Amino acid sequence: MTDAAIKTNLRLTLAGGAPLSHGKAELMELIRETGSIRQAAQRMDMSYRRGWLLADELNRMFRQPVIATKHGGKSGGGATLTDFGTELLLRFRAMERRTQDVLKSDLDWLAAHAAPPQELPSET
């Protein structure tokens, strides 16, 4: 089996209990890509409110902002990652890769012993 058979899901819990995990990293990536919390949330199949709350939580988790927002108007609003946010995203993704690499032999062993995925019954 390949190492893609089992994936890790890194979740870091900061002091105070706020988690930094794959979902927030994906939101940051999509904000960087789209320039919009609304569009990023939509691509993740979540409401704008949920996306905004996660972005706000990210900004409160650290001493400096992760996401900068610009209110709408004639030129429209938008959101971007700050320099700190870009560095945070790069470091988090690197930690994910290193975790996967360090655990590779154990993940391969698990994959070799895992039962095949169950197919869900089709609706008729």
pLDDT digits (tens, 9 = 90+) for 96-120: 999 999 999 999 999 999 888 887 6
pLDDT digits (tens, 9 = 90+) for 17-47: 999 999 999 999 999 999 999 999 999 999 9
pLDDT digits (tens, 9 = 90+) for 44-95: 999 999 999 999 999 999 999 999 998 876 666 799 999 999 999 999 999 9
DSSP string, the chain: --TTSS----EEE-TTS-EEEHHHHHHHHHHHHHS-HHHHHHHTT--HHHHHHHHHHHHHHSSS-SEEEE--STT--EEEE-HHHHHHHHHHHHHHHHHHHHTHHHHHHHHHHSPPPPPPPPP-
Please tell me the distance from the alpha carbon of residue 89 to that of residue 105, in angstroms, as a whole number.
26
Mean pLDDT over all residues of the chain? 91
pLDDT reported for residue 26: 98
